[in-house]
């Protein structure tokens, strides 16, 4: 069984997220998603619209996702890869090169982002429209 792991906040879920998860799942048999905790988002200076539990519930409803684990810090990725026996680490290409250090644990793949969609744009639009 080939295992794939990815990480993210997945706030204000949109079709770009779904595309990433679908393409990640197509690379293997089992998709693990490291979901940024609310506490970790604060460290990253991010404020999520939805809480960790709400975002987790949304991700659990997506057929491509097999397991969700909490992401609590930047440093946990190597131990997660080893613990969950991940063969491939996947991130959007906006992170290209940032996780190359993980190549000693597994294959690292940066997938192209879905053009013209982002959580930041969606949040900005919603804040000015409603």
The predicted structure's pLDDT at residue 14: 84
Q: State mean pLDDT over 106-126.
A: 75
| Overall number of domains in the chain | 1
33 pLDDT more than 60: yes
Check 2, 44, 47, 96 and give the catalytic one.
Answer: 44
| Annotation marks residue 56 as catalytic | no
Per-residue pLDDT tens over the stretch 49-74: 899 999 999 999 999 999 999 999 99
Kindly report whether the global pTM for this prediction surpasses the value 0.85: yes
| Annotation marks residue 44 as catalytic | yes
Q: Give the domain extent around 81.
A: 3-129
Check 2, 46, 47, 98 and give the catalytic one.
Answer: 46
Number of Cβ within 10 Å of residue 118's Cβ equals: 17
Q: What CATH number should be reported for the domain holding residue 77?
A: 3.40.50.620
């Amino acid at each position: 069984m080939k295992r794939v792991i990815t990480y993210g906040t997945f706030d204000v879920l949109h079709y770009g997220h779904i595309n990433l998860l679908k393409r990640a799942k197509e690379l293997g048999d089992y998709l693990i998603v490291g979901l940024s905790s609310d506490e970790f988002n604060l460290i990253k200076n991010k404020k999520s619209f939805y809480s960790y539990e709400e975002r987790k519930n949304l991700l659990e409803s997506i057929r491509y996702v097999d397991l969700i684990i909490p992401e609590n810090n930047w440093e946990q990725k190597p131990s997660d890869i080893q613990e969950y026996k991940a063969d491939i680490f996947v991130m959007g290409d906006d992170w290209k090169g940032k996780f190359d250090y993980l190549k000693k644990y597994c294959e690292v793949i940066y997938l192209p982002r879905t053009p013209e969609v982002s959580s930041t744009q969606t949040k900005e639009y919603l804040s000015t429209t409603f």
